[in-house]
Every structure is written in C-alpha cells, then in structure tokens.
Amino acid sequence: MAITYEEYTATFESVIYEDEVASFRDFLQASAPNEVILDFNECEDVHLAVLQLVMAYHKNYPLSYKFGDSKKLFQQVLEGFDTSENHCN
C-alpha cells in the first residue's frame, strides 16, 4: 500500500495509483471534520482522482501538507488550489 494512515495523517510513498482512491476516500470521510495532514515527503506522483479528493476535502475542512525538497507537479496543483474558487491558480 502506497498510502498509510495514522489517526488524521495520511503518508504517501512512491507513486499513488488509482487503486488507492477508495481507501483514501474512506479515510477522509472518517476524518471529517478534523484537520487532516497529508505527508507527501516520499511521494513521486499522485493519480488525478486522489488529487480531486484532496481538493474536495480541502474545500470543506482544514488540511495541511508536508512536501519534500524537490517540487513536484502535484505540489504546484495543491498549493495553487484556491478554496474560494473552483480552479487552480
């Protein structure tokens, strides 16, 4: 499993494929309305469906990220997401 869960923290490792979507959705639903921490330090890439879940959760509940040293495309997308609008900067 490329995503591990501990209380309200999800740790992403390697490449996150589409088969992780259902378990990640279940984690977010169980965590609401608490603040969730998403740790992307060891993550190489993330499937778009997972990013959509992240943005949908962030639209309604508090969320924080941890990123590694090298900036990835998914990091730019998540950091550019404006919760007051429906698009990324």
Q: Write the pLDDT tens digit of every residue in 3-33.
A: 999 999 999 999 999 999 999 999 999 999 9
Q: 3-class DSSP state for residue 33?
A: coil
- pLDDT tens, residue by residue, 50-82: 999 999 999 999 999 999 999 999 999 999 888
Mean pLDDT, the chain, rounded, equals: 92
Higher pLDDT, residue 88 or 43? 43
Domain map (residue ranges) of the chain: 3-80
pLDDT reading at 89 higher than 80: no
Q: Do residues 49 and 83 make contact, with C-beta atoms less than 8 angstroms apart? A: no
pLDDT reading at 84 higher than 90: no
Peptide bond preceding 62: is omega within 30 degrees of 0, i.e. cis?
no
Q: What pLDDT does 6 receive?
A: 97
| CATH class, range 3-80 | alpha beta
**Residue the block writes with tokens 């962030």:** 58
